[in-house]
């Protein structure tokens, strides 16, 4: 049973009101982080800003974890629940019209990870203020390298889910497809298993006027690109989902030279790791056979670590849904379809039950209309206190559920 002190301390309206009172502090943290976007495993200044805020709040933490990551905690003992925010930026030049633009040339918080970290700092503040009412420990994970570096995997490998053992984990992503004041999610697979690849098609260079003395990797690579599309069109159940995208083709420098080789790069997506492995195997086989048909050799290699699919445990989603409804009202919480985007939150849900949520930030009046990874991407900052309150309530609810 939940005692009345705990219930009163974590009443949704009260938490939202306090979160809104803390909004200037949260927004200030977000803007400070926004101005210094750093790429994977280089988030040194970012990490410093976060730690200085934690110091200000008197919150204990372990650092470094996964080079620049931080594992902070509020409360004590078991059960234990974790809340996670990623902290890295992207190699994009910011073109958003905001007074707190990126100061790091060619780098931008274009995926909202600055907002994620700030909302989690807000949650840290509110949780610390009611620490004595917490029925266990809340770990606050500030994680580097979500954008391709598998920072989540390294955090897990460096023990953030142990001592005390994490029983549930929650995370959220700002979601430009949903309006501010709404929350989305679903039970089961929410985000795709993701892999990146490189194919090198090698032939024999020569004079373009005498192609019969050369072995043309440009023609072979062109056939490979076209043939790869047959995997989704002809091999995957039309009711299932998969993506094969070739996104880069590099080879040759001159009009009159057949190059030695051509490099293709791209990404594969599926809603399961088994599906991803199938795509990888078929891309490898097709590239090799098609290249061979054109007297070339193709070599397939994965780039970076594959991400598994983000799978929301159904109990965690149902609890999260109730919590979100208590916060923003039932009509503003939606069950949304899975997306083919990848998220390394998957490394946590592979290990412990949990749930990843979509936090609405779309607002025409505040200019938050562009997708993530767009140079004009913006966050409607009115969503920040909602995200903070959601974190706090998710943690309190999960501790209650684990205690019951």
Where are the extended beta strands (E) located within 146-289? 168-179, 183-185, 188-191, 193-202, 206-207, 242-250, 257-258, 261-270
Coil vs helix vs strand at 324: helix
How many residues of this chain interact with Zn ion, rule: CB under 5 A? 1
Coil vs helix vs strand at 65: strand
Q: Which stretch binds Zn ion (CB under 5 A): 77-85, 105-113, 345-353, 379-387?
A: 105-113
Q: Which stretch binds Zn ion (CB under 5 A): 16-24, 67-75, 103-111, 215-223?
A: 103-111
User: In whole angstroms, how close is the CB of 113 to Zn ion at the nearest point?
Assistant: 6
User: In whole angstroms, how close is the CB of 304 to Zn ion at the nearest point?
Assistant: 14
Which CB sits closer to Zn ion, 112 or 122?
A: 112
Binder among 15, 81, 111, 118 for Zn ion (CB under 5 A)? 111
Residues 184-243 that bind Zn ion (CB under 5 A): none
Which CB sits closer to Zn ion, 92 or 396?
A: 92
Closest CA to 89 of 134, 144, 30: 144
Residues 6+ apart with CB under 8 A from 223: 290, 293, 294
Which CB sits closer to Zn ion, 111 or 398?
A: 111
CB atoms closer than 10 angstroms to residue 150: 20
Q: Which helix (H) or strand (E) holds 304?
A: strand 297-307
User: In whole angstroms, how close is the CB of 111 to Zn ion at the nearest point?
Assistant: 3
Q: Which stretch binds Zn ion (CB under 5 A): 109-117, 312-320, 357-365, 390-398?
A: 109-117
The residue sitting closest to Zn ion, measured at its beta carbon, is 111
End-to-end alpha-carbon separation of the chain, Å? 6
Q: How far apart are CA 349 and CA 110, in angstroms?
A: 24
Which CB sits closer to Zn ion, 262 or 339?
A: 339
Coil vs helix vs strand at 1: coil
CB atoms closer than 10 angstroms to residue 97: 9
Q: Which stretch binds Zn ion (CB under 5 A): 94-102, 104-112, 122-130, 323-331?
A: 104-112
Q: How far apart are CA 258 and CA 248, in angstroms?
A: 19
Q: How far apart are CA 265 and CA 382, in angstroms?
A: 39
User: In whole angstroms, how close is the CB of 151 to Zn ion at the nearest point?
Assistant: 11
Which CB sits closer to Zn ion, 153 or 236?
A: 153
User: In whole angstroms, how close is the CB of 90 to Zn ion at the nearest point?
Assistant: 7
User: In whole angstroms, how close is the CB of 389 to Zn ion at the nearest point?
Assistant: 21
The H-assigned helical ranges of 130-195 are 151-157
**Alpha-carbon distances of 321 from 178, 260, 397, rounded to whole Å:** 16, 56, 11
How many helices (H) and strands (E) in the chain?
11, 16
User: In whole angstroms, how close is the CB of 178 to Zn ion at the nearest point?
Assistant: 15
x/- letters, 358..377, toward Zn ion (CB under 5 A): --------------------
Which CB sits closer to Zn ion, 121 or 145?
A: 145
Which CB sits closer to Zn ion, 171 or 217?
A: 171
User: In whole angstroms, how close is the CB of 184 to Zn ion at the nearest point?
Assistant: 15
Residues 6+ apart with CB under 8 A from 311: 188, 189, 190, 346, 349, 350
Which CB sits closer to Zn ion, 26 or 111?
A: 111
User: In whole angstroms, how close is the CB of 108 to Zn ion at the nearest point?
Assistant: 11
Closest CA to 168 of 288, 60, 316: 316
Q: Does 183 bind Zn ion (CB under 5 A)?
A: no
User: In whole angstroms, how close is the CB of 36 to Zn ion at the nearest point?
Assistant: 17
Which CB sits closer to Zn ion, 41 or 300?
A: 41
Which CB sits closer to Zn ion, 201 or 310?
A: 310
Closest CA to 92 of 341, 373, 378: 373
Q: List residues binding Zn ion (CB under 5 A).
A: 111
């Amino acid at each position: 049973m939940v005692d009345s002190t705990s219930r009163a301390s974590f009443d949704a309206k009260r938490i939202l009101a306090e979160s809104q009172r803390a909004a200037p502090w949260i927004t200030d943290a977000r803007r400070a982080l926004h101005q210094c976007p750093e790429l994977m495993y280089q988030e040194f200044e970012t990490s410093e800003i976060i730690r200085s805020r934690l110091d200000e709040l008197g919150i204990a933490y372990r650092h470094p974890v996964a080079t620049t990551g931080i594992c902070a905690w509020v409360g004590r003992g078991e059960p234990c629940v974790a809340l996670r925010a990623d902290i890295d930026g992207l190699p994009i030049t910011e073109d958003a019209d905001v007074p707190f633009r990126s100061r790091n040339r060619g780098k931008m918080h274009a995926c909202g990870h600055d907002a994620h970290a700030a909302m989690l700092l807000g949650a840290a503040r509110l949780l610390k203020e009611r620490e004595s009412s917490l029925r266990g420990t809340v770990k606050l994970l500030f994680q580097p390298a979500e954008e391709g570096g598998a920072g989540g995997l390294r955090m897990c490998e460096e023990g953030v889910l142990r001592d005390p053992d994490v029983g549930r984990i929650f995370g959220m992503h700002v979601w430009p497809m949903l309006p501010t004041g709404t929350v989305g999610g679903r039970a089961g697979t929410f985000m795709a298993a993701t892999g990146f690849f490189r194919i090198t098609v090698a032939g024999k260079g020569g004079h373009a006027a005498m192609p019969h003395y050369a072995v043309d990797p440009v023609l072979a690579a062109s056939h490979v690109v076209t043939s790869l599309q047959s995997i989704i069109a002809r091999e995957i159940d039309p009711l299932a989902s998969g993506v094969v995208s070739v996104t880069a083709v590099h080879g040759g420098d001159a009009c009159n030279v057949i190059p030695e080789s051509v490099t293709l790069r791209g990404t594969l997506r599926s809603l399961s790791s088994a599906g991803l492995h199938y795509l990888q195997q078929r891309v490898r086989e097709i590239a090799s056979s098609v290249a061979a048909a054109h007297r070339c050799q193709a070599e397939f290699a994965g780039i970076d670590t594959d991400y598994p699919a983000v799978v929301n445990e159904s109990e965690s989603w149902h609890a999260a849904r109730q919590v979100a409804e208590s916060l923003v009202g039932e009509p503003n919480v939606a069950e949304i379809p899975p997306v083919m985007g990848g998220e390394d939150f998957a490394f946590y849900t592979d290990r412990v039950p949990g749930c990843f949520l979509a936090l609405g930030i779309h607002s025409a009046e505040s200019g938050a209309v562009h997708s993530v990874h767009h140079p004009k991407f913006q966050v409607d900052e009115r969503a920040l206190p909602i995200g903070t309150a959601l974190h706090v309530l998710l943690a309190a609810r999960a501790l209650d559920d684990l205690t019951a």
